[in-house]
Amino acid sequence: MKSIRFCEEKSEDLRWLTITTLLLAIGVILRMVSPNIGGISLNWNIVMYTLAIMLCRPTPKQGLGIGFVSGLVATMSSKAALPYANLVSDPLAGLVCATLASKYLLDFKIRKVSLEPVLLVFLTTFVSGGSFVLITKVILSLPMQVFLYAMMPAVLLVALLGSIAGQILYRPANKIFNATANVSAENKYSLKDIQMRVEKGAFVVITGVNGAGKTSLLQTIAGANMNYFDDVYNSTIHINGIDVLQTKRGELKKRIGMVMADYEGQLVTECVSDEIDFSLENAGLSIEKILQRRDDVLQMVGLKDMAGKKIAVLSGGQKQRLAIAVMLALHAEILILDEPVAAIDPEGAAEIYHLLQKIRESYHTTIIVSEHDLKYVMPYATQMIVMEDGRMKKAGSIKECLKYMYDENIYPEAIPLKTKIYLKLGESLC
């Protein structure tokens, strides 16, 4: 197994090196043959290595190396007054470019068209050109008027031209270099193309058929997957300002509490009060704080009178409440629940969601649940996500997502009957 992983890693290393080398070579050739109009020509080196970085998503350290190679090439071919400035400007631009690309920070879309090429090429060219002319101005003691009204406008013009070229070239380059890689890569991952943003205090419900990726998404957010699992492809997940995919799992577990579908498996002691105490003792709290916090959370979930009871005699809904109480005691700012009412009677299901809303209002806790039966959560949810085949198909308000599910025939069984009738008849008839 290790040898297979090693071979895959070596193959990936060769791939990004090969693509970067090839595109840089093309950039050098294009720069040599491109016309120079009024002293301004398109910087093909930067356009091509920016495309290479977007295609391969190397680490910032690798981006720094790509920029250094580009700087060496530019130094040898440059006719500028201070060619060695390229050895600073290009590595800096490569570092910025790879940092932004690795986190998909500029991957904005208009409909299905990604604006990342135009934005990233413009910014990378501006960083490279701007730092180059600044170094030149300082070392050669050029007048500020020359810097501001001649050099910087030229940099902006070159960046604009480069961004247009990059936007035009990215799609064919992606088809040529990533056609096979994209297909094979996607097949390795259970979650793909997740673009998720949740603000603090939101109440989010995630729905989809069994196997749609709901549990995988929740476990990824909670940091519950093992380190050797890499389940997410071409995705960004931001919750409460936390960049989930760039945050260590240990840090996620400190800030996020998860109640799994098999919540009874999370209860490890015999007595209700012991369950709270055990978790807080592991967190290193003093006896006084443990007792105070235990009373507070049991009061919140309606179990204070049952503190001395055996967990075995609790109902399913009460055990669910206890599992939630443990997470509240640990001061989780984000509470995640996987199908919280799947094994609870209708009255208990309504009570669980009423409790979650109460927790959200009292502690400003962000609540994220996966759910099949939407009628209980609909009165409280502020945001909905529809999953299918490991992809986020739709995100928005409850009304928007239910209409999308109805129109696209995605998991229609989950749409409440009242909503189906409303959508079928149309607003004008209701």
pLDDT by residue (tens digit) across 284-331? 888 988 999 899 999 999 998 999 999 999 998 899 899 999 999 988
Instruction: Tell me the three-class secondary structure of 175-240, residue by residue.
Output: HHHHHHHHHHHHHCCCEECCEEEECCCCEEEEECCCCCCHHHHHHHHHCCCCCCCCCEECCEEEEC
Q: What is the pLDDT of residues 30-50, one digit of tens each?
A: 877 777 766 677 888 889 888
Residue 101 has pLDDT above 80, yes or no: yes
184 vs 202, which has greater pLDDT? 202
Q: What backbone torsions phi and psi does residue 38 show, to the nearest 5 degrees?
A: 60, 30
**In contact, 218 and 370? CB cutoff 8 Å:** yes
The average pLDDT across 238-264 equals 89
Question: Which range (37-41, 146-150, 244-248, 270-274) has the least confidence?
Answer: 37-41
All domains in the chain, ordered by first residue: 2-187 (1.10.1760), 191-429 (3.40.50.300)
Residue in the block written with tokens 């380059």: 173
Sequential DSSP letters for 302-361: T-GGGTTSBGGGS-HHHHHHHHHHHHHHTT-SEEEEESTTTTS-HHHHHHHHHHHHHHHH
Name the percent of the chain lying above pLDDT 90.
48
Helix, strand or coil, per DSSP, at residue 14: helix
The average pLDDT across 243-251 equals 86
Q: What is the pLDDT of residues 394-415, one digit of tens each?
A: 999 999 999 999 999 999 999 9
